[in-house]
Amino acid sequence: MNNFIHQHQEFLPISINITDKKILIVGGGNAALTKVRSLHRFNVSITVIGIKIDPAFLEIDNIHIIHKSYDPSDLEGFFMVYACTDNKHTNEIIREHCHARSILVSLADNPRLSDFISPAIYKEGDMTVAVGSNGKNVKQSVMVRNNIKKNSGQDLEDGRGSEDNPDRIRVHLAKNPEKSNRNNKQKVIIAGFGPGDPGLMTLKTNQFLLEADVIFHDALLDAKFLEQYPARKIPVGKRCGQPHIRQNEINRLLVSAALRGEKVVRLKGGDPLIFGRAGEEIQHLTNNNIEVEIVPGITSVFAAAAQFRIPLTHRETGSSVAFCVGHNISNRSLPEADTLVFYMGASHQCEISKALIDQGWNRKTPVALISNVSNPNSKAVISQLDKLCKDQLLPDTPLLIIAGEVVKKMPEISGNIIQQEKRKMPLAI
């Protein structure tokens, strides 16, 4: 009989009065943090118990945090309990203790053993939308919730969507101040994801992604990795020769989302301030009186140098390094530096070669062509300047080109070689 129930588990969607009720969350990691953020929207007393507590909990107001290991006596007086430890056996023990005291309990890692589950919630004033999947497809529930949230921003006066008109949003928010940002701030986070390997993303960027309502992200980012964040994701990346959203449209979307009161993250590959057009977005947001915070990221050349052990400077062969865009070289002079790095130069290798040789660089200057930096399929081709016009040595994109004598300091170089990084990159934080 019990097996039948577990195999055909169903949850009745109901609304429970939790006003002034006490809710306990056991655990201090990411699962517990997600529950707290969801519950914090309601008038409820929240207590968190755990040995290791994520520092992000300290940024949430009006919750009780107790640093200790779980004990059955901790359950006394609580209306509901969330078992969110990283130990499955511990969560099941908490469930037994709760049942002995007739307390409703939810296990973060096992919906089938839970008395209730938390749906994906969108709350706006007294209106609450909850989307559930009987605990079987959380990602789909979040996606449906996000679609509802995305399409709910309607101008109440004329029935038309306000997302495409920042001026109309301002008028609407002025007349309806309760719909302005819950933190009373209109702000956009412009953050760097790093060169591709999610393990190189900063903890600060990760924290902002966890808190975001909407993420506008570049192409070439790990879309599967981004699925773990509850925010809705809007791709706004640009790829050479492919359809893309124009920069002025991206600017408009950022302003509109910020004015609606959403927590906005503009996620860029590499570092946002290096060839990422962040300057244009900062200027546009500032002109619209929206606060901007920048979170740096690891730019691709630093990751490439580390991955293939190429010193960008060396006291014997290179005391300076400069970053350049790899296209339209003939329209501008190149900087004078011992090492030059060219971004986005895949289809301009010959142009780069000719420009450097015309500027006086030795034809035999070593160059490294590196594609898909920090990813498992990353490759490095070591050649020399005058050969860039003879053959397309590495057609893969995105491509980074490093030119300078420092390339000779790369270990184990013997002629023109191709190296491929085969170790598996970490895909989670």
Tens of pLDDT, residues 330-371: 777 899 999 999 998 888 899 999 999 999 999 999 999 999
One-letter amino acid for residue 160 of the chain:
R
Backbone angles phi, psi at 198, to 5 degrees: -60, -25
CATH of 301-420, one of 3.40.50.1820, 3.30.950.10, 1.10.3720.10, 3.40.47.10: 3.30.950.10
- HSE at residue 96, side-chain half, CA atoms within 13 A, is 7
pLDDT at position 104: 93
Those residues whose C-beta lies under 8 Å from the C-beta of residue 324, and which sit 6 or more positions away, are 334, 335, 340, 341, 342, 343
Report the C-alpha gap between 232 and 142 in whole angstroms: 8
pLDDT at position 321: 96
> Tokens 């598996």 appear where?
424
Those residues whose C-beta lies under 8 Å from the C-beta of residue 270, and which sit 6 or more positions away, are 192, 193, 194, 195, 276, 297, 298, 299, 300
- Specify which residues 127 forms β-bridges with: 124
Question: How many angstroms separate the Cα of 137 from the Cα of each of 92, 211, 225, 229, 312?
Answer: 21, 21, 17, 15, 47
2-121 adopts what CATH topology? Rossmann fold (3.40.50)
Which residue in 224, 228, 223, 246 sits closest to 236, CA to CA? 246
Residues of the chain with pLDDT under 70: 1-9, 120, 122-127, 132-142, 145, 147-185, 238-244, 412-429
Report the C-alpha gap between 305 and 131 in whole angstroms: 46
3-class state of residue 167 by DSSP: helix
Report the C-alpha gap between 190 and 267 in whole angstroms: 6
Report the C-alpha gap between 250 and 375 in whole angstroms: 27
Q: Where in the chain is the domain with CATH 3.40.1010.10?
A: 180-298
Q: What is the pLDDT of residues 142-200, one digit of tens each?
A: 677 676 666 654 432 333 333 445 555 555 554 454 444 444 568 999 999 999 899 99
User: Taking the model in full, what pTM does it have?
Assistant: 0.57
pLDDT at position 134: 63
Contact yes or no for 26/82 (Cβ under 8 A):
yes
pLDDT at position 417: 41
Q: Where in the chain is the domain with CATH 3.40.50.720?
A: 2-121
What's 327's DSSP letter?
S
Which residue in 331, 325, 316, 257 sits closest to 288, CA to CA? 257
Those residues whose C-beta lies under 8 Å from the C-beta of residue 358, and which sit 6 or more positions away, are none
pLDDT at position 351: 92
Report the C-alpha gap between 151 and 122 in whole angstroms: 12
Q: Where in the chain is the domain with CATH 3.30.950.10?
A: 301-420
Report the C-alpha gap between 135 and 114 in whole angstroms: 10
One-letter amino acid for residue 248 of the chain:
N
pLDDT at position 311: 94
What 3 state SS string does 354-411 have? HHHHHCCCCCCCEEEEEECCCCCCCEEEEEEHHHCCCCCCCCCCCEEEEECHHHHHCC
pLDDT at position 156: 27
Strands 45-50 and 63-67: parallel
Helices (H) and strands (E) in the chain, counts: 11, 18
> What is the token pair recorded at 3?
């097996």
Those residues whose C-beta lies under 8 Å from the C-beta of residue 406, and which sit 6 or more positions away, are 310, 311, 312, 313, 314, 317, 318, 338, 339
Judge: domain 180-298, CATH 3.40.1010.10: yes
pLDDT at position 281: 95
Cis peptide bond upstream of 111, omega within 30 = no
**How is the chain split among helix, strand and coil, in percent rounded to 5?**
30, 25, 45
pLDDT at position 155: 35
Contact yes or no for 152/28 (Cβ under 8 A):
no
